Amino acid sequence: MARARIRLSLLAVVAGAVSSYGFAPALADPTPSGSGAAPACPSSNPPNELTLVSGTPQTARLDSVFASVLQVTLANTNGCPVTTAAAGVPITFTAPAGAASGTFSASGSNSVTVGSDASGAAAAGSFSADGTAGSYTVVASSSYGAVSFSLSNSATGLPARIAVVGPVRRSARVDTRYARPLEVRVLDADGSPVEGIAVTFALGAASSSSGAGGPAGAGASFPDGTAQATARTDASGIARSPRVTANGVAGRFTATATTSTASGAGAAGGTAGANVDPAAISLDNLAGRPVAVTLLGHARRSARVGARYAAPLRVEVRGPDGKPLQGATVTFTLGATGGGGSSASAAGSAGAGASFSGGASQATAATLASGIATSPRLAANTTAGSFVAVASVAGSARTASFQLRNIAGPPTALAAGAASSESAAVGARFPVRLAVTVSDADGNAVAGVVVTFAAPSGGAGGSFGRARSVGVRTNAAGIAVAPPFTAGGTPGGYVVEATAGHATPAAFALVNLASGLQP
């Protein structure tokens, strides 16, 4: 108690001394410390910055409107309401001039200027993504600064590709249904299926104008008798047409599938089908009377290069009743080279082939009352090898094939291989075996020809084992390889000659080296 009284007395003394010097004692702040109460806002508070209100970040599909309007407002950095008049301040919204961007509906361009309202707010109005996917920034600028909106144009969920489901080539007999409806799958840029897109199937014109097949008039229809139908894609992105029925004209034509330019349920405001290539399906109406084409004579035939084949090509055509069909047009085509030719090309090209009279690789003939059609005579070209000739009848999927072969002519030249000039020590074997390639007058390799390799009978020479000469038959490539050749006991140079009939021989210049000399 005594200590308390002493402390109070000291405080009173200090207070009196301060008062005597004319200072009033300081009063404590009535606001409790740490209460968090905000300071009072000034009565005059003009704007000094531009702030974002709405529209960032956001994404819209290509060529569609962004859901949220781009909006800003004038404000003061002290956080207090703006009291000074803020209406009519020009604010410019600007999107990129190239690549991914968009268009303001109010200006029809990538930039628009609007004035702030009485509260200092400004909205750019409707803004649409362009047709390029990507992220970008729209800048709103004013005399009080600038702010940015982060936007993205997305191709997700918009048609980017139409893929055919099932075979792209189909056929049906005239006046009958095709086995399955037309089906396509619509995918977006990410390869995901797009649901709810309208797909238009159109049964196009016959392809005879492009040289691809059937006469004008070949076509088909949907159940309502029209050549066009529309279907929407399901959850798998697949659209299926109604059933398709061939008309009564045989021939080929094309069906197409295209996306509609109207927005589908799955497009959510996007422009479906813009810049999407159509899908095409080749349809073939087959003749109502299938025919059988049977070759007559030998299926495999051969002729010397540059010479005629012994007989023309002949086939028999029979109708569905098994009787010979008269007046049917048969097309004989001398086609691509087989394994024996040098290239897969038609007659008259660099590969093995043949031609009909006049040099053509194709000819037609009408069947007689017997149902038999005979091609013109055909001649082999100058290239040895195998190729195929095909006989076909319009409207029938059946064909007859002939396996033809051009045989090389008689040997006219022998060419020595790598051993045309070499040496070996006396009594030693030559390192490279003697070999030649035999060819005919047109440069074709000649197979099955016996080549005789002969060494000199006296002086420097050698032997194939114990024989001075040996006969070797050429292989399929026209090459004959002699047995190993051994130098005789006499040093010196000499020639081993290779011959085959009347062909120009080949010579090998060989040298037997004396003992101690290295080859």
What is the rounded average pLDDT of the residues 103-130? 94
> Which amino acid is residue 49, in one-letter code?
E
Could you give the CA distance from residue 266 to residue 231 in angstroms, rounded to a whole number? 13
pLDDT, one tens digit per residue, over 425-440 is: 999 999 999 999 999 9
Helix (H) or strand (E) holding 356: strand 354-356
pLDDT, one tens digit per residue, over 282-295 is: 999 987 666 889 99
pLDDT, one tens digit per residue, over 437-449 is: 999 999 999 999 9
pLDDT, one tens digit per residue, over 441-494 is: 999 999 999 999 999 999 999 999 999 999 999 999 999 999 999 999 999 999
pLDDT, one tens digit per residue, over 121-151 is: 999 999 999 988 899 999 999 999 999 999 9
Spatial CB neighbours of 478, under 8 Å, sequence gap ≥ 6: 408, 437, 438, 439, 444, 445, 446, 447, 449
Among 315, 351, 356, 311, smallest CA distance to 333 is for: 356
- pLDDT number for residue 348: 37
| pLDDT confidence bin for 216, thresholds 50/70/90 | low
Among 422, 430, 433, 447, smallest CA distance to 500 is for: 447
Question: Cα 362–284–276 angle (5° rounding)?
Answer: 110
Q: Is the pLDDT of residue 270 over 80?
A: no
> Tokens at residue 279, please?
């899908």
Q: Are 241 and 201 in contact (CB under 8 A)?
A: yes
Judged by average pLDDT, the poorest of 45-49, 231-235, 337-341, 360-364 is: 337-341
Could you give the CA distance from residue 117 to residue 73 in angstroms, rounded to a whole number? 9
Judged by average pLDDT, the poorest of 56-70, 312-326, 440-454, 463-477 is: 312-326
Give, as one character, the DSSP assignment of residue 420: G
- pLDDT number for residue 38: 61
Q: Is the pLDDT of residue 49 over 90?
A: yes
The torsion angles phi and psi of 161, rounded to 5 degrees, stand at -155, 145
This prediction has a pTM of 0.43
- pLDDT number for residue 336: 56
Query: What one-character-per-residue DSSP string does 261-291 give?
Result: SSPPTTTTTS-TTTTPPPEEEEEEEE-SS--
What is the rounded average pLDDT of the residues 234-238? 95
Spatial CB neighbours of 397, under 8 Å, sequence gap ≥ 6: 171, 286, 290
- pLDDT number for residue 273: 44
Neighbouring CB atoms inside 10 A of 21's CB total 6
Q: Is the pLDDT of residue 499 over 50?
A: yes
- pLDDT number for residue 157: 84
- pLDDT number for residue 205: 59
CA 30, 34, 35, 36 torsion-angle sign: positive
- pLDDT number for residue 37: 60
Q: Are 370 and 324 in contact (CB under 8 A)?
A: yes
Phi-psi region of 36 (alpha: psi -120 to 50; beta: other; left: phi over 0): left
Helix (H) or strand (E) holding 293: strand 292-296
Q: Mean pLDDT for the chain?
A: 85
Q: Is the pLDDT of residue 26 over 80?
A: no
What is the rounded average pLDDT of the residues 20-44? 54
Give, as one character, the DSSP assignment of residue 375: P
Q: Are 426 and 511 in contact (CB under 8 A)?
A: no
pLDDT, one tens digit per residue, over 144-182 is: 999 999 999 988 888 989 999 999 999 998 888 999 999
- Tell me whether the omega of the peptide bond preceding residue 57 falls within 30 degrees of 0, making it cis: yes
- pLDDT number for residue 370: 96
Q: Are 133 and 155 in contact (CB under 8 A)?
A: yes
| pLDDT confidence bin for 345, thresholds 50/70/90 | very low
Partner residues linked to 153 by β-bridges: 60, 134
Among 443, 384, 434, smallest CA distance to 412 is for: 443
Q: Is the pLDDT of residue 401 over 60?
A: yes
